[in-house]
Amino acid sequence: MLRSTDNSAATPDGQAISQWSGEAREQAVQKMFTAIARYYDLNNSLLSLGLHHRWKKITAASVPVMEGGRALDLGAGTGDLALLLNPRLGPTGQVAALDLNMAMLRQGIQKIATRGLSSRITCLQGNAEHLNFHQDSFDAVTAGFCIRNVGNISQAFSEIRRVLKPGGRFVCLEFSQPVSRWLRRVYDWYSFHLLPTIGTLVARDGTDVYQYLPASIRAFPNQEGLVALLHKAGFQHVEYRNLTGGIVAIHIAIK
Ligand SMILES: C[S@@+](CC[C@H](N)C(=O)[O-])C[C@H]1O[C@@H](n2cnc3c(N)ncnc32)[C@H](O)[C@@H]1O
């Protein structure tokens, strides 16, 4: 189903796609990830000035260390968060790394195999909106820069809540709203001008993904908006922490 707010759907660009929802958005977003998968890690490091490593480490550290724990990483992509979660789950722990996009997942499978961790981290293709797991399956669910791309966020949140064990936690790392006005201005200039130029050059990509990125960030709920959505999905205790002045935020929601 295609739902668009204006005629730009006829010639979609990254900005228009960020306003869509449903299947059409999902397909367009997936096409972009397929196009950039090989360059994703390099671009991530360049465009975040290496900060994404720190953001992901803090996200993984928000999952308590547990012996024999089971964790699910959604939108696992090239596998960074799944790899960081692994040592927190003890020698018998298991991580499921799930992504809708096979090209991104292939990069993750390779990275995980190179580190000899294929028996501990299982890569699966799947959709965060329809999780193929029993209820109360996981001690923790994480999502790094995934939820912004999902067609129906509320549906994904209720699925995440369903598969979490009672008391389990969902840790969501996402771009958010910088708290100070000056940082917002600098960040706007960076993300709408410099970032699309560098991203497109490195990935040699013609699918507008690096225009979609800042547009999707602006269209995504801010810190408090995400808290409200998580409460609406039935999570009882929700809190968040801003990183790098609120450029990204980590939300923690307990079932
Ligand atoms: C920006 S990448 C983040 C990858 C990785 N988590 C990281 O932080 O580097 C977003 C990932 O979410 C995946 N994704 C988007 N929508 C999804 C959905 N509905 N279900 C599962 N994965 C999805 C994309 O295919 C993509 O690999």
- Exposed/middle/buried for residue 206 (C-beta within 10 Å: 0-12, 13-18, 19+): exposed
Distance CA 41, CA 161 (A): 29
Domain 40-177+218-254 maps to which CATH number in 3.40.50.150, 3.40.190.10, 3.40.50.300, 3.20.20.70?
3.40.50.150
78 alpha carbon to ligand 1 midpoint, in Å? 9
| Residue owning the nearest CA to atom 24 of ligand 1 | 75
The one-letter amino acid code at 235 reads F
pLDDT of residue 1: 26
74 alpha carbon to ligand 1 midpoint, in Å? 7
pLDDT of residue 193: 80
Residues of the chain with pLDDT under 50: 1-11
92 alpha carbon to ligand 1 midpoint, in Å? 26
pLDDT of residue 3: 29
pLDDT of residue 198: 77
Rounded to the nearest 5°, which phi and psi values hold at 98?
Answer: -115, 135
pLDDT of residue 132: 97
Instruction: Reduce the secondary structure of 144-157 to three states and give it as a string.
Output: ECCHHHCCCHHHHH
C-alpha pair distances (Å), 115 with each of 50, 79, 131, 135, 153: 21, 11, 27, 31, 33
| Residue owning the nearest CA to atom 27 of ligand 1 | 77
| Residue owning the nearest CA to atom 15 of ligand 1 | 149
76 alpha carbon to ligand 1 midpoint, in Å? 6
pLDDT of residue 2: 27
- Could you tell me the maximum CA-CA distance found in the chain, to the nearest angstrom? 54
C-alpha pair distances (Å), 241 with each of 62, 73, 119, 130: 11, 19, 33, 28
Domain ranges of the chain: 40-177+218-254
1 alpha carbon to ligand 1 midpoint, in Å? 21
Name the residue of 78, 98, 99 whose CB sits within 8 Å of the most ligand 1 atoms, as the mutation to test its pocket. 99
77 alpha carbon to ligand 1 midpoint, in Å? 5
Which amino acids bring their CB within 6 angstroms of ligand 1?
33, 44, 74-78, 80-81, 99-101, 104, 127-129, 144-146, 149-150
